[in-house]
Structure 1
Amino acid sequence: MSFHEMVPPDPKRLYRNCEDRMLAGVCAGLSDYLGWDRTLVRGAFVLGTIFFAPFFIMSYVIMWMIMPKRPKMLFRDQGEKTFWQSVNTRPGGTVGDLARKFRDLDTRLAGMERRVTTPNFDLEREFKNLGA
């Protein structure tokens, strides 16, 4: 058992995507991590290899050896995958989105609490129970 198999999967980590790979999954993994189109990342790699072959080939081989394979069930659904990609690409915006969601949830919860704690709540519930 390797070290990467013992550590639980981290959705913020850079993985090789061996399911959608062309060679070793490095470009597919980069595109998943950054939320970019795979064709764009692969095209940039090919262009870079044409102009700077030794650097790009060496860096690809090093990334191939260093990056672990992506676990099978890293994300439950597409929404979770989109969320973690936004955390990787724009962490400040993600924190703002979460703060807005919690503020909305807090407002809704305060409204429910006001409704339940009013003196009329028990009376209305008793009238509903009489009709049922």
Structure 2
Amino acid sequence: MSRGQFYLDKANAKMFGVCSGIADYTGVDAIWVRVTAVLLTLFVSFITIPIYIATAIIADSKPTYLYSDAEEERLLRKMRRRAARSGRVHSDLSDIDRRIADIERHYSTSNSRLAAEIDSLR
């Protein structure tokens, strides 16, 4: 359904919301816009990729007051999933840092021969 101005539709987005924004603007189903974009990219020209990226950077996101209640709830769920995923990444990186520190501590304290060789090099 066209609302007068083009916006990125983050609630129905697969990547940046460009295709779902075009679908919302033109009133065409988003799957057809996505299929058309892929076919244009593969068979006509790869210029569609920079155009897609430029549109994602330049276009404004859809204001929250234009979302229906279901779309707004879907958008909030996506945001919560992203926040949880970033928390898991932070946790995984912290775990890796701790394990590397344990390895360093093991080799620097428990290997007396290695410590003696390092001291002899000084």
TM-score, normalised on structure 1?
A: 0.47
- Structure 1, gaps ≥5 residues long: 1-10, 78-132
Counterparts of 2:44 and 2:57, CA distance in 1 = 20
Residue among 43, 63, 66 paired with 1:71: 63
Change in Cα spacing, 1:76 to 1:42, as seen in structure 2 (3 Å) is closer
How far apart in 1 are the matches of 2:17 and 2:62?
9
- Say if 2:64 is the partner of 1:35: no
Residue number in structure 2 paired with 1:20: 12
Q: 1:39 to 1:76 in 2, by over 3 A?
A: closer
Residue aligning to 1:8: none
Alignment partners' CA distance in 1, 2:45 and 2:52: 10
Aligned residues: 67
Shift of 1:54: 2.5
Residue 53 of structure 1 deviates from its aligned partner by: 4.4
Inter-partner Cα distance in structure 1 for 2:43 and 2:58: 24
Q: Give 1:75 shift.
A: 6.0
Same amino acid, percent of matched pairs: 31
Distance between the aligned counterparts of 1:60 and 1:71, measured in 2? 20
> What do the CA deviations read for 1:24-72 (whole angstroms, capped 9, x no partner)?
0000000000000101000000101112443110110111011100011
Tell me, in whole angstroms, the C-alpha distance in 2 between the residues paired with 1:42 and 1:48: 10
Partner of residue 36, structure 2: 44
Distance 1:65 1:22, change over 3 A: same
Of 46, 49, 53 in structure 2, the residue corresponding to residue 57 of structure 1 is: 49
Structure 2 residues not aligned, in runs of 5+ = 70-122
1:76 CA drift (Å): 6.9
- Structure 1 stretches (4+) deviating beyond 4 angstroms? none
In structure 2, how many angstroms separate the alpha carbons of the residues matched to 1:75 and 1:55?
Answer: 31
